[in-house]
Structure 1
Amino acid sequence: MQRRFDDILVGSLELFCLAAETGGFSRAATAAGVTPAAVSRSVARLEERLGVRLFVRTTRTIRLTDAGRAYLVHCRQALDQLAEADREASGQQSEPAGRLRISVPTTYGHYRLLPLLAEFHRRHPRIQADVHIGNRNIDFTAEGFDLAVRVRKPPDSGLVARHLEDAELVLVASPDYLQRRGTPGRLGDLAEHDCIQFELPSTGRRIPWLFRDGATEIEMETEGPFLLSEDVLGGVSLACSGGGVFQAYRFTIEREIAQGRLVELLPRHGGRSRPFNLLYPHGRHMPLRVRTFIDFLLESVRAGFSAAD
């Protein structure tokens, strides 16, 4: 088999990743214990081999080109896998280590995942967690993610979905708003109220509100003066400030209800929920750090997220 890589190339990849992640050749040189000229030569060697520019350079800064950003994702994955192979071969993999990349929605991120990370770090200090908090769908391969939490499993047979929980939905408004506009007594009354809308970034569609009427499940389109996008927690903030009626996950507004900042509405029509799932690619070799985090998160779900309380 013809060799495609040598020690010099692998070292160049490491210095390229350092330069991209630290934002400069000098900072990368300091981290690696080499000279800035050595970093520059390594990057130039890669660019010549690939036939593309990886960085746009000015006198003071560098920034990745589009090709450089795509190359960084794959290089980081490859270097992480090499490091893990070394640990496994040398018997050091009994302690999970390395970089873990997770994508999580704003609701689940702030109220479920982030409160757990300090405990996870105490248990596994050699794992570095890179957390993307946002509501757009991510590309596991192109963006280098290990795991994602989503309400819906994308129509992709290459993904495994592990159910985390069914998050109950609650209709709320502030006491100030209800004093001004009255309290809805039935679902039909919502047509006369300011209903705070949220638009799904992936589809551009407004999220319908979910209710029960006895044994019948209802999906309701509502109207109102406010349309939010990207961060659904903005609806909670707007409702607390008297902006209108909003349907939110109970775990995001429990404290506000207990403090009297929000009032639960139409409870007899409640009880609907949406599922949260943990997603990861099917068939990909799963590093120990990823398996460790999956076990930790599922354990926390079973314990009722006690670490976050």
Structure 2
Amino acid sequence: MHDAFDDLTIGHIKLLLSAADLGSFTQAANASGLSPAAVSKAIMRFEQRLGVPLFLRSTRTMRLTDIGDRYVADCREALALLHRAEQAAADAQAEPAGQLRVSLPTPYAHWRLPRLLSAFQARFPHIQVRLHISDRSVSLGNDAFDIAIRGHELADSGMVARKLEDAELVIVAAPEYLARAPAPNRPQDLLQHQCIQFRLPGSGRISTWSYREGGVRKEIATNGNLVCEDEYVGGIALARAGAGIYQMYRFAVEEDLAAGRLIELLPAYGGATRPFYLIYPDGITQPAKLRAFIDFLAETLVKAPRPGQPA
């Protein structure tokens, strides 16, 4: 075993923890933006370095060995200690400062956060906000992000999930599309239309569409030849061009609806929502830059009136 750590060790530790958390080299590769082969090679380098197997692999399953389980726990504790050391150094400053690494999905990056960031920078000029924009799930501890905004809670019990909002969904189409296809009168009519699809990055499944009928939330699997992958907002451009019907968050298409570029469909079945959460580590002491960002969003975004609500 080598006495000195090479420059890649920290990165390999993060890949190791991601593979252990997700139980799959492929999912760890998707989360980190690497190929499964690269992740497998990194883990093998770890095992060669240590001289022991960390995972038991078969064609269908993968799990940690007893040694691997202990080693992963120790690595997790070591990274947490390094993170606390960085936090302590950053918090020694009188004013919140430093680099804040934020992971957020495309709808929030395009429509929710831009109008707030200029005000945040004016209030905290010494915080540098680094935005990672992706609809893929991330692991905060392993992917070196300080905080994330996601459309679902995380299974990691070491994270806090603070709801930002329940964002309303709306089904839309362009006048050009409706000129050649009659507008649906009920959700089941969508099965006869060209519906723009979105493939969920985590599971690879096509996202179902949500609606409310008789006060009950329901789901429907639509059909369509156009499928967007990795980037949720790409379907809006397709809908604007008359390529089909799309379901999107109302806040993302408000201007299009007001300008008549898109038409809301099935309003009698509207009202379905999806939540957005602020995800961050659970800890008694949080770096000043992180606390400043959390408090700012709570003050501005969470309390801001939604469309149609009184100010």
SS at match of 1:298: helix
Match of 2:4 among 42, 50, 58: 50
| Mapping 1:155-234, distance limit 5 Å | 155-234=155-234
Offset, 1:303: 2.4
Match of 2:90 among 75, 84, 89: 84
SS at match of 1:212: strand
Deviations 1:8-39 (A, max 9, x none): xxxxxxxxxxxxxxxxxxxxxxxxxxxxxxxx
Number of the residue aligned with 1:102: 102
1:239 matched to 2:245: no
Number of the residue aligned with 1:263: 263
Cα pair distance change 1:305/1:290, threshold 3 Å: farther
Contact 2:199–2:206 at 8 Å: present in 1 too? yes
Deviations 1:191-249 (A, max 9, x none): 11001110110111111101111223211011111111111100111100011000100
Residue type at the aligned position of 2:202? S
Offset, 1:285: 2.9
Cα pair distance change 1:51/1:160, threshold 3 Å: closer
1:291 matched to 2:291: yes
| Mapping 1:62-141, distance limit 5 Å | 66-67=8-9, 69=11, 77=83, 80-87=86-93, 92=94, 95-141=95-141
Per the normalisation by structure 2, the TM-score is 0.72
C-alpha distance in 1 between matches for 2:82 and 2:129: 14
Residue type at the aligned position of 1:86? A
C-alpha distance in 2 between matches for 1:49 and 1:126: 39
Contact 1:210–1:217 at 8 Å: present in 2 too? yes
Number of the residue aligned with 1:250: 250
Unaligned runs of 5+ residues in structure 1 are: 1-47, 55-65
SS at match of 2:113: helix
C-alpha distance in 2 between matches for 1:203 and 1:235: 19
Offset, 1:51: 4.1
Give the structure with higher Rg (CA): 1
Contact 1:97–1:127 at 8 Å: present in 2 too? yes
Contact 1:208–1:219 at 8 Å: present in 2 too? yes
C-alpha distance in 1 between matches for 2:219 and 2:305: 28
C-alpha distance in 1 between matches for 2:177 and 2:11: 47
Contact 1:210–1:220 at 8 Å: present in 2 too? yes
Cα pair distance change 1:223/1:256, threshold 3 Å: same
| Mapping 1:297-308, distance limit 5 Å | 297-301=297-301, 302-304=303-305
Offset, 1:188: 1.9
Number of the residue aligned with 1:62: none
Comparing 201-210 and 109-118, the one that deviates more: 109-118
1:147 matched to 2:147: yes
C-alpha distance in 2 between matches for 1:156 and 1:77: 17
Unaligned runs of 5+ residues in structure 2 are: 16-78
C-alpha distance in 2 between matches for 1:293 and 1:180: 47
Query: How many residue pairs were aligned?
Result: 241
C-alpha distance in 2 between matches for 1:100 and 1:305: 27
SS at match of 1:50: coil
Offset, 1:99: 1.3
